[in-house]
Amino acid sequence: MTDRPRRRDILKAAAGGAALAAPLGAPWGAFAQEAAGAALSAEQLPGGLIAVRGAGGAVVAGAEADGLVLVDGGAKEHSVALLEYLARETGQDRVKTLFNTHWHLEQTGSNETVGAAGGNIVAHENTRLWLSHDFHLWWQNRDYQARPAEALPTETIYDHGTAPFGGGQIEFGYMLQSHTDGDIYVRFPEANVIASGGVGVSDTWPVIDWGTGGWIGGVLDGLAVLIEASDDETLIVPAHGPTIRKADLVEQHEMYTTITARLAELMRKSYGFADVLAAEPTAEFNDRWGDPEQFITLAYRSIWGHIRNDRRVSTI
């Protein structure tokens, strides 16, 4: 929330009168983590790239003579400030290519502006489908409307693709059904930087958005894809949290493997949500990653669609 506010933080914010992006009626109603109005900041990365934070989700940017390449565009309410900030930081105000790592509003809030100005928008085909239809996201109890034509991806992939950048090639690829069913990473080989979107989140538990195809086993798959694409020097910029390295991805993969096995065992015992929370399947990790209630609930629910087709969680 910003990909996921913790519930108690939402309640705290509400009590303090802070403006909220989403209604409080639903549990964990919003996807956003940074407070509205948070200052934008830039982390300098190799190869002249920058990671901008404070726009709802991390934005990785690189400038060429004919325009900017952006990985994600922040949330709509931050878009004007983000694009002005990028122009000041890079000296380039035209966005020629915008990657959407997934459909969430914290990643796609600049699509209308970039698309209307003639920029290319690149995403997984499933991301284009979510953006182009009305749907109800059950775990948020929230309706999402189809985005206007200019906000839709102009180029989609199923597996992987490349694009010219800086005299070399940007590589981008599918991370399977991890955070949603349309997550892609974008790799800048010369800089040895990867923008990883909703996978590899490094400051709190990830959102398992099972309503649009994410699931806990897919988080393992997505992390495995990132680990394969990284070496020990690679800098990985997730949508939320600080820049991390391959060793952090490996640590996350080990942790989620442990948790997935525990959740699968509880599923085999037909535990309900209250009993699963009481069983504390993340107990030794909570000091590092925070209140696990939302994560456990979404992760457990996410298994339901896979108990017949994935040996990691099979109950038969």
Q: Is 104 in the site for Zn ion (CB under 5 A)?
A: yes
Shortest spacing between CB 91 and Zn ion, in angstroms: 30
Q: Is 198 in the site for Zn ion (CB under 5 A)?
A: yes
Shortest spacing between CB 101 and Zn ion, in angstroms: 8
In the complex, which residue's CB is closest to Zn ion? 104
Strands (E), 23-112: 41-44, 50-53, 59-64, 67-71, 95-99
The count of residues interacting with Zn ion (CB under 5 A) is 3
**Euclidean distance between CA atoms 47 and 83, whole angstroms:** 20
Length of the chain: 316
Shortest spacing between CB 231 and Zn ion, in angstroms: 26
Q: Nearer to Zn ion by C-beta: 266 or 296?
A: 296
Shortest spacing between CB 242 and Zn ion, in angstroms: 17
Residue indicated by tokens 């989700």: 57
Shortest spacing between CB 197 and Zn ion, in angstroms: 7
Shortest spacing between CB 179 and Zn ion, in angstroms: 5
Q: Nearer to Zn ion by C-beta: 4 or 246?
A: 4
Binders of Zn ion among 257-296, rule CB under 5 A?
none
User: Residue ranges of the alpha helices (H) in the chain?
Assistant: 7-15, 76-90, 105-108, 111-116, 125-131, 216-229, 246-268, 273-279, 286-289, 293-303
Q: Which stretch binds Zn ion (CB under 5 A): 3-11, 111-119, 187-195, 247-255?
A: 3-11
Strands (E), 130-285: 135-137, 142-144, 155-157, 160-165, 168-174, 184-188, 193-197, 235-238
Residue indicated by tokens 């489908």: 129
Q: Which stretch binds Zn ion (CB under 5 A): 73-81, 100-108, 123-131, 170-178?
A: 100-108
Distance of CA 220 to the CA centre of its chain: 14
Q: Which stretch binds Zn ion (CB under 5 A): 32-40, 89-97, 99-107, 148-156?
A: 99-107
**3 state SS of 44:** strand
Q: Nearer to Zn ion by C-beta: 104 or 301?
A: 104
Shortest spacing between CB 23 and Zn ion, in angstroms: 19
Q: Which stretch binds Zn ion (CB under 5 A): 5-13, 196-204, 212-220, 307-315?
A: 196-204
> Tokens in use for 102?
């997934």
Q: Nearest-5° angle of CA 80, CA 81, CA 82?
A: 90
Q: Which stretch binds Zn ion (CB under 5 A): 114-122, 159-167, 194-202, 229-237?
A: 194-202
Q: Nearer to Zn ion by C-beta: 4 or 253?
A: 4
Helix axes 246-268, 293-303, angle to 10 degrees: 60
Q: Is 3 in the site for Zn ion (CB under 5 A)?
A: yes
Q: Which stretch binds Zn ion (CB under 5 A): 77-85, 102-110, 130-138, 275-283?
A: 102-110
**Euclidean distance between CA atoms 219 and 171, whole angstroms:** 20
In one letter, which amino acid is 53?
R
> Which residues of this protein are in contact with Zn ion, per CB under 5 A?
3, 104, 198
